[in-house]
Amino acid sequence: METKAGDPGAFAHFDLNRVDSPAFVVDAAKLRANCQMLADIRDAAEIKVLAALKAFSMWSVAPIIGEYLDGVCTSGLWEARLAGEFYDGEIATYSAAYKPDELEEICRLSDHVIFNSPGQLQRAQLILEQGRAMGGNFDVGLRINPQVPTGEVAKYDPSAPGSRLGFPLDQLTEGDMEGVDGIHFHNLCEQDLEPLRQTWDRVFDFIEPYFGQLKWINMGGGHHITRADYQREELIEFLRDAKEDTGAEIYLEPGEAVALDTGILVGTLLDTGFNEMPIGITDVSATCHMPDVIEAPYRPAMLGELADEDQIPIRLGGPSCLAGDVIGDYRLPVPAEPGARFAFLDQAHYSMVKTNTFNGVQLPSIWLWDSETDALECIKSFGYQDFRDRLS
């Protein structure tokens, strides 16, 4: 995959030596700007927008998100607990499968509990009844699989053949819709409006018989709404039409769009060498700090990378013993010498939530910067005990 973001924004003027290394730095001003843009679309289209914690769960900035958006969506019990503890607004929880002993608490915490299949929903009826009897005020949703592949990479496409995510639309029956308050589908990944239109064209025909029944329709995430080239005016018109046609509340739950271009990952070049090409070892690890670099795979954009094709690039990799811990080949904006600082762009979403301590590699600290006031605060740093206490 090729990253579709990477705008340096105010980070173009940020002194990388102001923080330790490795370190995530999140710009609160850019986060506010993204949330304001989402809120403007929400208000113009008269829909609701939830922030997806699976992409960005830096709860220290929950007050910013709560100021603009309608709540959050979560992927299971622990995210639902985090939402209940720190975030304002509604909580919508979806999981590919719930453990019965966790579902009762999920019902207590959530405003919307979304199931992956009618079979799971039927087996959970007793728990749902008990939850309501104990005062739970939640809706029940069903995730459908639109069976409309639109993704660039099949393994990231919920509509890919054999996908486990959502109930296949062509199997949906009237009996499957009993007790269902809302329909959920999530079919996009870093995409714009046209794939959403394609998805909705198919979904519409299958769920039209239930428009009088459905309280809400959740169109999921993967919408790159805050990207500069997104068709926002057309999106507003599309959402207004969907709301009018269905008579249901329309929800979007962007994840990346909330945190798009809000954060960088600062690193340091530790050593250099030559093996058929220049080699650099850094304290930033693809394996431990940016797993999507390997899993997607993709090449993260570098802050200030030189465009001079006459300069020989250096291959950067992490300090772990994994041979595949390679980030990519870069033309550094600074001399390729030990001690040089650099930063990768657009690392607030997914990278932060996926970090791990394989090989005992240190976790990046987390900093909050406000590019409007220049206030800078270390939100959290990690030490040996964080690595030790995950083990036994």
The pair of structure tokens assigned to 5 is 């973001």
User: Do 144 and 216 fall within a single domain?
Assistant: yes
Is the model's pLDDT at 389 over the cut of 90? Answer: yes
User: Do 236 and 342 fall within a single domain?
Assistant: no
Tens of pLDDT, residue by residue over 340-384, are 999 999 999 999 999 999 999 999 999 999 999 999 999 999 999
Domain holding 13: CATH number?
Answer: 2.40.37.10
User: Do 241 and 278 fall within a single domain?
Assistant: no
Tens of pLDDT, residue by residue over 74-118, are 999 999 999 999 999 999 999 999 999 999 999 999 999 999 999
Find how far residue 108's CA is from the centre of its chain.
24
**Residue span of the structural domain in which 270 resides:** 9-25+262-388
User: Do 70 and 197 fall within a single domain?
Assistant: yes
What average pLDDT does range 206-212 have in this prediction? 96
Domain count, the chain: 2
The whole-chain average pLDDT of the chain stands at 96
Q: Are 51 and 254 in contact (CB under 8 A)?
A: yes
Residue 174 forms part of a structural domain: yes
Closest CA to 355 of 152, 57, 142, 79: 57
For 105, residues 6+ apart whose C-beta sits below 8 A from its C-beta are 77, 80, 81
Residue 36 forms part of a structural domain: no
The pair of structure tokens assigned to 173 is 């029956």
Domain holding 184: CATH number?
Answer: 3.20.20.10
User: Do 236 and 323 fall within a single domain?
Assistant: no
User: Do 180 and 285 fall within a single domain?
Assistant: no
User: Do 310 and 188 fall within a single domain?
Assistant: no
